[in-house]
Amino acid sequence: MKTNVLATSLVLGLGLSVASAGQPDPRFYGTWVGVETYEIPTHAGPYGQRSESPVKKSAVIEIGDSGQTLVFGQGLLQGRVEISPKWGNNSLDFSVRASTSRRTRGILKLSADGNTLTETGFALVPGTPFPLACNISGTFHRQGKK
């Protein structure tokens, strides 16, 4: 009997933790203002790319639609991005499903106080003869109230 109760408790506990791990986190929703850095690193190989000096631009991220949509504004790679989100502990890991931007994936991490968002991402930007890989990083602060 004790074994059945323990096994049932374990299964229920694991099920609840898995269910809560993937739930949208409303603390991310809203408008975030900051600066993004875009860097094209050097890649070797037959179709390698040469690095470019990093570029910094003011940027805005808007998160809405229960975390299904991101809008990037004022930066180099502006546009609306429909994502497949994976919610974690203070993080949103996303891959792009549809976009008017050239972003392909990224991670947004929320600070403990909920007022700072850190971004790391990746995009393919136009290049000759092939698109160039571009690393994106940024720090943003919540605009308006929580």
pLDDT, tens digit (0-9, with 9 covering 90-100), for 17-37: 333 458 999 999 999 999 999
> Is residue 138 in a domain?
yes
> Is residue 4 in a domain?
no
Q: How many domains does the chain have?
A: 1
> Is residue 69 in a domain?
yes
> Is residue 11 in a domain?
no
The count of residues in the chain is: 146
3-state secondary structure 55-76: EEEEEEEEEEHHHCEEEEECCC
Task: Look at residue 10 and tell me whether its pLDDT is greater than 50.
Answer: no
> Is residue 17 in a domain?
no
> Is residue 19 in a domain?
no
Identify the pLDDT of residue 145: 65
Distance separating alpha carbons of residues 6 and 4, to the nearest angstrom = 5
User: Which CATH number does the domain housing residue 91 bear?
Assistant: 2.40.160.20
pTM: 0.78
From the number of C-beta atoms within 10 Å of its C-beta (0-12, 13-18, 19+), residue 26 rates as exposed
> Is residue 105 in a domain?
yes
Q: Rounded to whole angstroms, what are the CA distances from 51 to 37, 48, 81, 102?
A: 14, 10, 26, 18
Domain with 79, as residue range(s), is 24-143
CB atoms within 10 A of CB 21: 11
pLDDT, tens digit (0-9, with 9 covering 90-100), for 79-138: 998 999 999 999 999 999 887 788 999 999 999 999 999 999 999 888 767 788 899 999
> Is residue 5 in a domain?
no
